[in-house]
Amino acid sequence: MFSLRSRFGIPGVIAVIALVFAMLGGAYAASSSHRSHKKGTPGLNSKQIKEVKKIAGSVPGTPGPQGAAGANGSQGSKGDKGDKGDKGDKGDKGDKGDKGEPGMVQPGETLPEGATLTGAWTVPDAAGSPFTAPFMADGAQAFVSVSFQIPLAVPPSFVVVRSEEDKSAEGCAGTVGEFGELEGGAVADSGTLCVYLTSPTAAFFAPLPTIVALNPETTEEPGVGATGVVLRVECEREEGCVSVKGVWAVTG
């Protein structure tokens, strides 16, 4: 079947229709030449014009260039509150923190087993020493009080660690070097009070004095109490002794 659309395409069809209406309009104008110019204009009548516009409007034209961006619109109203989210997974367990220092002592509280207390001690300088270093004359004595911040459940054993020892004393893992340097720290086994002599002058001037532990309740009987100890530092050497100092450690 003959088809104008397949033969000429849509623009061709429009052109043919327009030509037909133009010819009809010309014929109409020739037959109506007696009419007044005010009543009509030679060419297509209004109905024909509408038909041509209708046909032309059904054919899409070439898209024009993109227009400029419009101004930002006003801010919209606040939206509704969203639904509550799902409960999250349980987190991993944190690492155990370091053990804190001993706090205030409560009545009846004792040092827990395995816990350690430490402190420092020193012997007052001897008057009239012929040396620049602290010195104790033969027969001199000094008393040093050591108190435990937290009482022990039972009195500990007493061990002195001196610089002339090759190994650490039993129950005391720290050692004292030739010049009084403490190696391994102030440590003590459970149930032991370790007294470390750290005088740096011991190797140059004189021997170390003797240290005896006295019960703090009597200061006459040997031994260590549950709350502390009194150190009796005494020199029984004709050439005199070095006036010592040091640190101590006790473990429950």
pLDDT at 45: 76
pLDDT at 227: 94
- Asked if 140 and 15 sit in the same domain, the reply is no
Whether 104 maps to a domain, the answer reads: no
Alpha helices by DSSP H, 33-127? 46-57
pLDDT at 41: 44
Reported in sequence order, the residue ranges of 113-176 that DSSP labels E, i.e. its strands, are 116-122, 135-136, 141-147, 157-161, 175-176
- Asked if 45 and 154 sit in the same domain, the reply is no
Q: Cα 79 from chain centroid? A: 37
- Asked if 133 and 243 sit in the same domain, the reply is yes
Specify whether the backbone of 95 is left (phi greater than 0), alpha (psi in -120 to 50) or beta: beta
Whether 162 maps to a domain, the answer reads: yes
- Asked if 238 and 134 sit in the same domain, the reply is yes
How many domains, the chain?
2
Lookup: tokens for 110: 């004792």
- Going from the C-alpha of 193 to that of each of 4, 87, 187, 224, 238, the distances in angstroms are 119, 54, 9, 8, 30
Whether 91 maps to a domain, the answer reads: no
Residues sharing a CB contact under 8 Å with residue 184, sequence separation 6 or more, in sequence order: 168, 173, 174, 175
Whether 65 maps to a domain, the answer reads: no
- Asked if 237 and 120 sit in the same domain, the reply is yes
Whether 169 maps to a domain, the answer reads: yes
Q: What is the pLDDT along the chain (252 residues), one digit of tens a residue?
A: 445 445 555 555 565 565 555 555 544 444 444 444 444 445 567 777 777 677 666 666 677 788 788 788 788 788 788 788 788 788 777 676 565 555 555 667 899 999 999 999 988 664 444 444 567 888 889 999 999 999 999 999 999 998 766 555 789 998 888 777 888 989 999 999 999 988 765 445 567 888 999 988 877 789 999 999 999 999 888 888 877 889 999 999
Q: Which of 24, 40, 57 is the last residue of a domain?
A: 57
The residue range of the domain holding 162 is 116-251
Whether 43 maps to a domain, the answer reads: yes
- Asked if 51 and 164 sit in the same domain, the reply is no
pLDDT at 9: 56
